[in-house]
Amino acid sequence: MKIFRGFHHPGIANACALTIGNFDGVHRGHQAMLALLNSEAAHRGVESCVLTFEPHPRDYFAGAHHKPELAPARIGTLRDKLTELARCGVQQTVVLPFDARLAAQSPDAFIDEVLVRGLGARYVLVGDDFRFGRQRAGDYAMLDAAGQAKGFDVARMNSYEVHGLRVSSSAVRQALAAGDMEAAARLLGRPYTISGHVVHGRKLGRELGATAAGAGDGFRTLNLRFAHWKPAASGIFAVLVHGLATEPLPGVANLGVRPSLDPNDVNGGRVLLETHCLHWPADLGPGGAYGKIVRVELLHKLHDELKYDGLDALTKGIAKDCADARAYFASAQAPNHTETRRQTTRDRI
């Protein structure tokens, strides 16, 4: 999949079948829309294209009005969104910066400058609640009329339902906020996943719980930065880690701000996904994971983040979390997630 920041670049398709949206989570409703988009693109002999925005428009307006509570919780990082769009067969994605200029652009100007001249849209597919332009003044009827006048087709896709429930990013956020990872997986069509480069941290974990054999063999963690300050999920989870060994590695992870640690440490103030693999691959050595891209599936929430009184209490808390994660993987629940992944693969075939 080709990825462009804006549309003034060589190599961008001259004509495309286009859909527009934030695509946070790339859930099953998004996947159905993208399948239709790819079909229409192939029928017309043009590339399929997604136009998405960064930051999320609601993030922009929350900042502009100094009301952080208006910002939506973020399901996935930009990396994960682009990865899922590529897996859905999209040929080209344009990431458009959402800024003051775009927020002030009239619907007519958006159609002319972005859809027609910028992207060469021949077909535009939107959701049933699609709005665009300054103050969300543009709607499907306006877009359809413009398409007839300017030579592109417009289609609207109704909401997608699973067992009578409308699949939406809001529904995924609600499931993640409640810690219902199975419900989130049903809506997403896959386990909830966060990926990224392993970055350096304070290296405190490897000292916590270290044995008498020597320091550094305690609760070593893989640190992934979650770029947004407001993740849709938070807490302690039983996880599977992909990318370090042939088979996924079971582990326990903390997604959040680590309230028991010094806020002035190397990653102070950042949202991190800190993952401890229950079985560390010996061939990696103590620092062999830094810089690698790993993918972490959050399968089961153990509890919310806790603030411990001192490092001894934190060590005992982590040891209990590891024991609970081992119990989870040993229980009858873990195979259900394997079957979910198999079913997801069958659904995509």
319 Cβ contact list (under 8 Å, min separation 6): 209
Task: Check pLDDT > 60 for residue 333.
Answer: no
348 Cβ contact list (under 8 Å, min separation 6): 189
- In Å, the largest CA–CA distance within the chain is 77
Tens-digit pLDDT profile for residues 95-144: 999 999 999 999 999 999 999 999 999 999 999 889 999 999 999 999 99
pTM, to two decimals: 0.87
Tens-digit pLDDT profile for residues 187-234: 999 999 999 999 986 655 555 555 444 445 568 889 999 988 899 999
160 Cβ contact list (under 8 Å, min separation 6): 28, 29, 32, 33, 166, 167
SS (H, E, C) the chain: CEEEECCCCCCCCCCEEEEECCCCCCCHHHHHHHHHHHHHHHHHCCEEEEEEEECCHHHHHHHHCCCHHHCCCECCCHHHHHHHHHHCCCCEEEEEECCHHHHHCCHHHHHHHHHHHHCCEEEEEEECCCCECHHHCECHHHHHHHHHHHCCEEEEECCCEECCEECCHHHHHHHHHCCCHHHHHHHHCCCEEEEEECECCCCCCCCCCCCCCCCCCCCCCEEEECCCCCECCCEEEEEEEECCCCCCEEEEEEEECCCCCCCCCCCCCCCEEEEEECCCCHHHCCCCCCCCEEEEEEEEEEECCCCCCCHHHHHHHHHHHHHHHHHHHHCCHHHHHHHHHHHHHHHHC
Query: In angstroms, what CA-CA distances link 344 with 8, 33, 337?
Result: 37, 17, 10
According to the model, what pLDDT value does residue 309 have? 82
Confidence of residue 255 (pLDDT cuts 50, 70, 90): very high
The Cα–Cα gap between 88 and 143 comes to 25
What average pLDDT does the segment 302-331 reach?
91
Q: Which of 107, 112, 102, 140 is nearest to 6 (CA)?
A: 102
For residue 109, give both structure tokens: 């100007």
The mean of the pLDDT values for the chain is: 88
Using N-to-C axis directions, what is the helix angle for 311-330 and 333-348, rounded to 10°?
Answer: 70
Share of the chain above pLDDT 90, in %: 71
According to the model, what pLDDT value does residue 270 have? 82
